[in-house]
Structure 1
Protein backbone atom coordinates (compact mmCIF):
# COMPACT_ATOMS: atom_id res chain seq x y z
CA UNK A 1 0.00 0.00 0.00
CA UNK A 2 1.39 3.40 -0.96
CA UNK A 3 1.97 6.22 1.52
CA UNK A 4 -0.92 8.21 0.01
CA UNK A 5 -3.24 5.20 0.20
CA UNK A 6 -2.37 4.65 3.84
CA UNK A 7 -3.10 8.30 4.60
CA UNK A 8 -6.48 8.02 2.86
CA UNK A 9 -7.35 4.87 4.81
CA UNK A 10 -6.35 6.49 8.11
CA UNK A 11 -8.36 9.61 7.27
CA UNK A 12 -11.40 7.50 6.36
CA UNK A 13 -11.12 5.51 9.63
CA UNK A 14 -10.84 8.70 11.69
CA UNK A 15 -13.86 10.22 9.96
CA UNK A 16 -15.87 7.05 10.48
CA UNK A 17 -14.94 6.92 14.17
CA UNK A 18 -15.97 10.54 14.68
CA UNK A 19 -19.26 9.98 12.89
CA UNK A 20 -20.10 7.21 15.36
CA UNK A 21 -18.84 9.18 18.38
CA UNK A 22 -20.64 12.43 17.55
CA UNK A 23 -24.19 11.19 18.27
CA UNK A 24 -23.00 9.69 21.56
CA UNK A 25 -21.38 12.95 22.63
CA UNK A 26 -24.41 14.93 21.57
CA UNK A 27 -26.69 12.61 23.49
CA UNK A 28 -24.54 12.88 26.62
CA UNK A 29 -24.86 16.66 26.52
CA UNK A 30 -28.66 16.60 26.39
CA UNK A 31 -30.52 17.99 29.44
CA UNK A 32 -32.54 15.48 31.47
CA UNK A 33 -36.27 16.12 31.89
CA UNK A 34 -38.01 15.30 35.18
CA UNK A 35 -41.54 16.46 35.85
CA UNK A 36 -41.23 19.03 33.08
CA UNK A 37 -38.07 20.48 34.65
CA UNK A 38 -34.90 20.49 32.57
CA UNK A 39 -31.70 19.55 34.41
CA UNK A 40 -28.47 20.52 32.66
CA UNK A 41 -25.94 17.67 32.18
CA UNK A 42 -23.33 19.63 34.17
CA UNK A 43 -23.23 22.31 36.86
CA UNK A 44 -20.39 24.59 37.94
CA UNK A 45 -20.09 24.43 41.74
CA UNK A 46 -17.30 26.14 43.63
CA UNK A 47 -15.21 26.31 40.45
CA UNK A 48 -15.67 22.58 39.74
CA UNK A 49 -17.69 20.99 36.98
CA UNK A 50 -20.12 18.43 38.36
CA UNK A 51 -22.05 15.84 36.34
CA UNK A 52 -25.74 15.13 36.68
CA UNK A 53 -25.91 11.75 38.42
CA UNK A 54 -29.67 11.44 38.12
CA UNK A 55 -32.95 13.36 38.37
CA UNK A 56 -36.52 12.49 39.28
CA UNK A 57 -39.80 13.60 40.82
CA UNK A 58 -40.96 13.49 44.44
CA UNK A 59 -44.57 12.28 44.62
CA UNK A 60 -46.96 12.65 47.52
CA UNK A 61 -49.75 10.15 46.81
CA UNK A 62 -50.48 10.89 43.13
CA UNK A 63 -49.34 14.52 43.26
CA UNK A 64 -46.01 15.81 41.98
CA UNK A 65 -44.34 17.89 44.70
CA UNK A 66 -40.92 18.76 43.27
CA UNK A 67 -38.25 17.64 40.82
CA UNK A 68 -34.72 17.04 42.08
CA UNK A 69 -31.34 16.50 40.44
CA UNK A 70 -28.13 15.24 42.05
CA UNK A 71 -24.76 16.51 40.77
CA UNK A 72 -21.42 14.88 41.61
CA UNK A 73 -17.82 15.03 40.43
CA UNK A 74 -18.08 11.42 39.29
CA UNK A 75 -20.97 9.03 38.83
CA UNK A 76 -22.30 6.99 41.75
CA UNK A 77 -24.78 4.11 41.71
CA UNK A 78 -25.28 3.68 45.47
CA UNK A 79 -25.89 5.97 48.42
CA UNK A 80 -22.61 4.76 49.96
CA UNK A 81 -20.70 5.86 46.85
CA UNK A 82 -22.37 9.28 46.93
CA UNK A 83 -21.49 9.79 50.59
CA UNK A 84 -17.97 8.46 49.97
CA UNK A 85 -17.19 11.14 47.38
CA UNK A 86 -15.06 13.86 48.96
CA UNK A 87 -15.59 16.46 46.24
CA UNK A 88 -18.28 19.09 45.74
CA UNK A 89 -21.89 17.90 45.51
CA UNK A 90 -25.20 19.53 44.70
CA UNK A 91 -28.87 18.69 45.10
CA UNK A 92 -31.01 21.01 42.97
CA UNK A 93 -34.77 21.16 43.57
CA UNK A 94 -37.57 22.84 41.59
CA UNK A 95 -41.05 22.97 43.08
CA UNK A 96 -43.87 21.52 40.97
CA UNK A 97 -46.68 22.75 43.24
CA UNK A 98 -47.16 25.43 45.89
CA UNK A 99 -46.22 24.31 49.40
CA UNK A 100 -45.96 25.95 52.80
CA UNK A 101 -42.22 26.43 53.38
CA UNK A 102 -42.37 25.80 57.12
CA UNK A 103 -44.12 22.49 56.45
CA UNK A 104 -41.37 21.55 53.98
CA UNK A 105 -38.74 22.36 56.62
CA UNK A 106 -40.53 20.11 59.12
CA UNK A 107 -40.70 17.29 56.58
CA UNK A 108 -36.97 17.58 55.95
CA UNK A 109 -36.27 17.53 59.70
CA UNK A 110 -38.41 14.42 60.07
CA UNK A 111 -36.69 12.80 57.10
CA UNK A 112 -33.30 13.37 58.68
CA UNK A 113 -34.47 11.99 62.02
CA UNK A 114 -35.93 8.90 60.35
CA UNK A 115 -32.60 8.08 58.69
CA UNK A 116 -30.12 8.87 61.47
CA UNK A 117 -29.36 7.17 64.76
CA UNK A 118 -30.41 9.14 67.82
CA UNK A 119 -26.93 10.28 68.84
CA UNK A 120 -26.07 11.60 65.37
CA UNK A 121 -29.38 13.43 65.07
CA UNK A 122 -28.91 14.95 68.54
CA UNK A 123 -25.51 16.37 67.55
CA UNK A 124 -27.06 17.98 64.47
CA UNK A 125 -30.13 19.47 66.17
CA UNK A 126 -28.79 23.08 66.06
CA UNK A 127 -28.25 22.80 62.30
CA UNK A 128 -31.63 21.10 61.81
CA UNK A 129 -33.39 23.93 63.67
CA UNK A 130 -31.54 26.55 61.63
CA UNK A 131 -32.45 24.79 58.39
CA UNK A 132 -36.12 24.68 59.41
CA UNK A 133 -35.97 28.40 60.20
CA UNK A 134 -34.50 29.15 56.76
CA UNK A 135 -37.46 27.56 55.03
CA UNK A 136 -40.00 29.01 57.48
CA UNK A 137 -38.84 32.53 56.68
CA UNK A 138 -39.83 32.07 53.03
CA UNK A 139 -43.47 31.40 53.99
CA UNK A 140 -44.37 29.76 50.69
CA UNK A 141 -42.51 28.04 47.89
CA UNK A 142 -44.51 28.21 44.70
CA UNK A 143 -44.41 26.05 41.59
CA UNK A 144 -41.27 27.01 39.67
CA UNK A 145 -39.34 28.21 42.74
CA UNK A 146 -35.98 26.58 43.31
CA UNK A 147 -33.61 25.77 46.11
CA UNK A 148 -30.14 24.25 46.01
CA UNK A 149 -28.13 22.41 48.66
CA UNK A 150 -24.39 22.44 47.99
CA UNK A 151 -21.53 20.65 49.71
CA UNK A 152 -18.37 22.74 49.30
CA UNK A 153 -15.18 21.01 50.53
CA UNK A 154 -13.41 23.15 53.12
CA UNK A 155 -16.45 25.40 53.48
CA UNK A 156 -19.50 23.34 54.43
CA UNK A 157 -23.12 23.05 53.36
CA UNK A 158 -24.68 26.06 51.68
CA UNK A 159 -28.44 26.37 51.15
CA UNK A 160 -29.63 28.69 48.38
CA UNK A 161 -33.33 29.52 48.04
CA UNK A 162 -34.65 31.33 44.95
CA UNK A 163 -31.04 32.06 43.89
CA UNK A 164 -30.18 33.73 47.24
CA UNK A 165 -27.64 32.12 49.63
CA UNK A 166 -29.18 31.67 53.07
CA UNK A 167 -26.58 32.89 55.53
CA UNK A 168 -23.32 31.25 56.54
CA UNK A 169 -22.56 27.66 55.55
CA UNK A 170 -23.30 24.79 57.92
CA UNK A 171 -19.81 23.77 59.00
CA UNK A 172 -20.49 20.25 60.32
CA UNK A 173 -19.23 17.67 57.77
CA UNK A 174 -22.05 15.34 58.80
CA UNK A 175 -24.78 17.84 58.03
CA UNK A 176 -24.80 17.47 54.24
CA UNK A 177 -24.79 13.67 54.50
CA UNK A 178 -27.69 13.93 56.94
CA UNK A 179 -29.60 16.10 54.48
CA UNK A 180 -28.91 13.66 51.64
CA UNK A 181 -30.28 10.85 53.79
CA UNK A 182 -33.75 12.41 53.30
CA UNK A 183 -33.55 11.24 49.69
CA UNK A 184 -30.91 8.49 49.75
CA UNK A 185 -31.26 6.97 53.23
CA UNK A 186 -32.75 3.63 54.24
CA UNK A 187 -36.12 5.34 54.65
CA UNK A 188 -36.12 7.82 51.78
CA UNK A 189 -38.90 10.31 51.14
CA UNK A 190 -39.64 8.54 47.85
CA UNK A 191 -38.09 5.24 46.73
CA UNK A 192 -38.57 6.00 43.03
CA UNK A 193 -36.86 9.36 43.47
CA UNK A 194 -33.96 7.67 45.31
CA UNK A 195 -33.46 5.30 42.37
CA UNK A 196 -33.69 8.20 39.90
CA UNK A 197 -31.08 10.25 41.75
CA UNK A 198 -28.77 7.23 41.68
CA UNK A 199 -29.20 6.98 37.91
CA UNK A 200 -31.53 3.97 38.04
CA UNK A 201 -34.75 5.77 37.11
Structure 2
Protein backbone atom coordinates (compact mmCIF):
# COMPACT_ATOMS: atom_id res chain seq x y z
CA UNK A 1 0.00 0.00 0.00
CA UNK A 2 1.28 3.47 -0.92
CA UNK A 3 1.24 5.67 2.22
CA UNK A 4 2.63 8.78 0.56
CA UNK A 5 -0.78 10.39 -0.26
CA UNK A 6 -1.95 9.70 3.29
CA UNK A 7 1.23 11.17 4.81
CA UNK A 8 0.98 14.20 2.54
CA UNK A 9 -2.63 14.78 3.60
CA UNK A 10 -1.65 14.40 7.26
CA UNK A 11 1.21 16.87 6.87
CA UNK A 12 -1.15 19.36 5.21
CA UNK A 13 -3.69 18.94 8.00
CA UNK A 14 -1.01 19.51 10.66
CA UNK A 15 0.30 22.58 8.85
CA UNK A 16 -3.23 23.98 8.63
CA UNK A 17 -3.81 23.28 12.32
CA UNK A 18 -0.50 24.94 13.22
CA UNK A 19 -1.47 27.96 11.18
CA UNK A 20 -4.81 28.15 12.98
CA UNK A 21 -3.13 27.91 16.39
CA UNK A 22 -0.75 30.71 15.43
CA UNK A 23 -3.64 32.96 14.53
CA UNK A 24 -5.52 32.07 17.70
CA UNK A 25 -2.40 32.91 19.71
CA UNK A 26 -2.65 36.57 18.68
CA UNK A 27 -4.48 37.27 21.94
CA UNK A 28 -4.12 36.38 25.61
CA UNK A 29 -7.11 35.37 27.72
CA UNK A 30 -7.08 36.34 31.39
CA UNK A 31 -10.09 35.40 33.52
CA UNK A 32 -12.31 35.61 30.44
CA UNK A 33 -10.89 38.97 29.32
CA UNK A 34 -9.09 39.06 25.97
CA UNK A 35 -5.89 41.07 25.65
CA UNK A 36 -4.69 41.51 22.08
CA UNK A 37 -0.97 40.91 21.70
CA UNK A 38 -0.56 44.27 19.97
CA UNK A 39 -2.06 47.74 20.36
CA UNK A 40 -1.42 51.30 19.21
CA UNK A 41 -1.21 54.56 21.17
CA UNK A 42 -0.74 57.88 19.36
CA UNK A 43 0.17 55.97 16.23
CA UNK A 44 2.95 53.97 17.90
CA UNK A 45 2.64 50.18 17.73
CA UNK A 46 2.87 48.46 21.11
CA UNK A 47 3.15 44.87 22.31
CA UNK A 48 1.61 43.20 25.34
CA UNK A 49 4.34 42.92 27.95
CA UNK A 50 2.21 40.80 30.26
CA UNK A 51 -1.27 40.37 31.70
CA UNK A 52 -2.76 38.95 34.87
CA UNK A 53 -5.45 39.19 37.53
CA UNK A 54 -5.53 41.38 40.63
CA UNK A 55 -6.94 39.36 43.49
CA UNK A 56 -7.84 40.56 46.96
CA UNK A 57 -8.90 38.21 49.76
CA UNK A 58 -9.26 35.45 47.14
CA UNK A 59 -11.67 37.54 45.05
CA UNK A 60 -10.80 38.47 41.48
CA UNK A 61 -10.97 42.26 41.25
CA UNK A 62 -9.77 43.07 37.74
CA UNK A 63 -7.77 41.77 34.79
CA UNK A 64 -4.88 43.95 33.68
CA UNK A 65 -2.37 44.16 30.86
CA UNK A 66 0.56 46.49 30.14
CA UNK A 67 1.55 47.49 26.59
CA UNK A 68 4.94 48.98 25.68
CA UNK A 69 7.07 49.49 22.59
CA UNK A 70 9.55 46.77 23.59
CA UNK A 71 9.04 43.94 26.05
CA UNK A 72 10.94 44.26 29.32
CA UNK A 73 11.17 41.75 32.16
CA UNK A 74 12.45 43.99 34.92
CA UNK A 75 10.56 46.88 36.58
CA UNK A 76 13.11 49.56 35.64
CA UNK A 77 13.13 48.55 31.99
CA UNK A 78 9.35 48.59 31.87
CA UNK A 79 8.86 51.90 33.71
CA UNK A 80 11.61 53.91 32.11
CA UNK A 81 11.59 52.96 28.45
CA UNK A 82 10.69 55.82 26.11
CA UNK A 83 7.66 55.94 23.86
CA UNK A 84 3.96 55.35 24.29
CA UNK A 85 2.56 52.96 26.89
CA UNK A 86 -0.83 51.62 27.90
CA UNK A 87 -2.31 50.11 31.04
CA UNK A 88 -5.58 48.28 30.30
CA UNK A 89 -7.78 47.23 33.20
CA UNK A 90 -11.12 45.41 32.96
CA UNK A 91 -13.11 45.05 36.18
CA UNK A 92 -14.19 41.54 37.17
CA UNK A 93 -16.60 42.70 39.88
CA UNK A 94 -18.63 45.81 40.62
CA UNK A 95 -16.46 48.56 42.07
CA UNK A 96 -17.16 52.12 43.08
CA UNK A 97 -14.88 54.74 41.58
CA UNK A 98 -13.93 55.68 45.14
CA UNK A 99 -12.79 52.13 45.94
CA UNK A 100 -10.72 52.05 42.76
CA UNK A 101 -9.09 55.43 43.37
CA UNK A 102 -8.34 54.80 47.03
CA UNK A 103 -6.63 51.50 46.16
CA UNK A 104 -4.47 53.30 43.59
CA UNK A 105 -3.54 56.08 46.01
CA UNK A 106 -2.63 53.49 48.65
CA UNK A 107 -0.40 51.76 46.08
CA UNK A 108 1.29 55.06 45.27
CA UNK A 109 1.95 55.70 48.97
CA UNK A 110 3.55 52.28 49.42
CA UNK A 111 5.95 52.75 46.51
CA UNK A 112 7.04 56.39 46.89
CA UNK A 113 8.77 58.49 49.50
CA UNK A 114 6.72 61.27 51.12
CA UNK A 115 8.74 63.80 49.09
CA UNK A 116 8.07 62.04 45.76
CA UNK A 117 4.40 61.69 46.66
CA UNK A 118 4.14 65.39 47.49
CA UNK A 119 5.66 66.28 44.10
CA UNK A 120 3.03 64.10 42.39
CA UNK A 121 0.12 65.56 44.37
CA UNK A 122 -1.26 67.83 41.57
CA UNK A 123 -1.27 64.90 39.11
CA UNK A 124 -2.80 62.55 41.69
CA UNK A 125 -5.50 65.12 42.45
CA UNK A 126 -6.37 65.53 38.77
CA UNK A 127 -6.53 61.76 38.28
CA UNK A 128 -8.64 61.28 41.40
CA UNK A 129 -11.10 63.95 40.28
CA UNK A 130 -11.46 62.41 36.82
CA UNK A 131 -12.05 58.93 38.24
CA UNK A 132 -14.54 60.03 40.89
CA UNK A 133 -16.70 61.64 38.22
CA UNK A 134 -17.62 58.20 36.87
CA UNK A 135 -19.16 57.17 40.24
CA UNK A 136 -19.19 53.41 39.55
CA UNK A 137 -17.16 50.85 37.64
CA UNK A 138 -19.44 47.82 37.21
CA UNK A 139 -18.17 44.43 36.09
CA UNK A 140 -16.54 44.53 32.61
CA UNK A 141 -15.75 48.25 32.75
CA UNK A 142 -12.64 48.97 30.68
CA UNK A 143 -10.15 51.49 32.07
CA UNK A 144 -7.35 52.67 29.79
CA UNK A 145 -4.44 54.70 31.16
CA UNK A 146 -2.24 55.78 28.27
CA UNK A 147 0.99 57.75 28.05
CA UNK A 148 2.71 59.51 25.17
CA UNK A 149 4.97 62.55 24.95
CA UNK A 150 5.04 62.57 28.75
CA UNK A 151 1.28 63.07 29.14
CA UNK A 152 -1.17 60.61 30.72
CA UNK A 153 -4.75 60.17 29.49
CA UNK A 154 -7.60 58.35 31.25
CA UNK A 155 -10.38 56.68 29.28
CA UNK A 156 -13.18 54.79 31.05
CA UNK A 157 -15.81 52.76 29.18
CA UNK A 158 -14.70 54.31 25.91
CA UNK A 159 -15.01 57.89 27.12
CA UNK A 160 -12.13 60.24 27.86
CA UNK A 161 -12.17 61.42 31.46
CA UNK A 162 -10.63 64.66 32.67
CA UNK A 163 -7.79 66.54 31.02
CA UNK A 164 -4.50 64.96 30.01
CA UNK A 165 -2.03 65.03 32.91
CA UNK A 166 1.19 66.63 31.71
CA UNK A 167 3.50 65.48 34.53
CA UNK A 168 5.83 62.96 32.84
CA UNK A 169 6.57 61.34 36.21
CA UNK A 170 2.96 60.29 36.72
CA UNK A 171 2.65 57.26 34.41
CA UNK A 172 5.83 55.57 35.73
CA UNK A 173 4.55 56.32 39.24
CA UNK A 174 1.28 54.54 38.45
CA UNK A 175 3.16 51.53 37.09
CA UNK A 176 4.97 51.20 40.42
CA UNK A 177 1.63 50.39 42.05
CA UNK A 178 1.81 47.01 40.30
CA UNK A 179 5.52 46.45 39.59
CA UNK A 180 7.18 48.48 42.37
CA UNK A 181 8.96 47.20 45.48
CA UNK A 182 5.63 46.83 47.29
CA UNK A 183 3.28 45.67 44.50
CA UNK A 184 -0.48 45.51 44.91
CA UNK A 185 -0.31 41.80 44.03
CA UNK A 186 2.97 39.87 43.86
CA UNK A 187 1.68 37.29 41.36
CA UNK A 188 0.23 40.01 39.14
CA UNK A 189 3.63 41.76 39.16
CA UNK A 190 5.28 38.63 37.79
CA UNK A 191 2.60 38.28 35.14
CA UNK A 192 2.93 41.89 34.02
CA UNK A 193 6.69 41.44 33.75
CA UNK A 194 6.16 38.37 31.59
CA UNK A 195 7.71 36.10 34.21
CA UNK A 196 4.75 33.85 34.92
CA UNK A 197 5.68 30.20 35.24
TM-score, normalization by structure 1: 0.85
- Asked if 1:67 corresponds to 2:63, the answer is yes
- Alignment match of 2:173 (pick from 175, 178, 181): 178
Which of these residues, 29, 36, 43, is aligned with residue 32 of structure 2? Answer: 36
When structure 1 is superposed on structure 2, of 51-60 and 28-37 the one drifting more is 28-37
Is contact 1:68-1:92 (8 Å) kept?
Answer: yes
1:163 equivalent to 2:167? Answer no
1:146-161 alignment, distance < 5 Å: 146-154=142-150, 156-161=151-156
Give the alignment of 1:53-92 within 5 angstroms: 53-92=49-88
Q: Which residue of 1 aligns with 2:183?
A: 188
Q: TM-score, normalised by structure 2?
A: 0.86
1:52-131 → structure 2 map (5 Å cutoff): 52-131=48-127
User: Offset of 1:28 from its aligned partner?
Assistant: 8.4
RMSD of aligned Cα (Å): 2.0
Unpaired stretches in structure 2, ≥5 consecutive residues:
1-14
Aligned residue pairs total: 182
CA 1:123–1:199 in structure 2 vs 1: closer, same or farther (change >3 Å)? same
Cα distance in 1, alignment partners of residues 93 and 22 from structure 2: 32
Q: Kindly state the Cα deviation for residue 127 of structure 1 after the two structures are TM-superposed.
A: 1.3
Q: Which runs of 4+ in 1 moved over 6 A?
A: none
When residues 24 and 173 of structure 1 are mapped into structure 2, their CA distance, relative to the original with a 3 A threshold, is farther
In structure 1, runs of 5+ residues without a counterpart are: 1-18
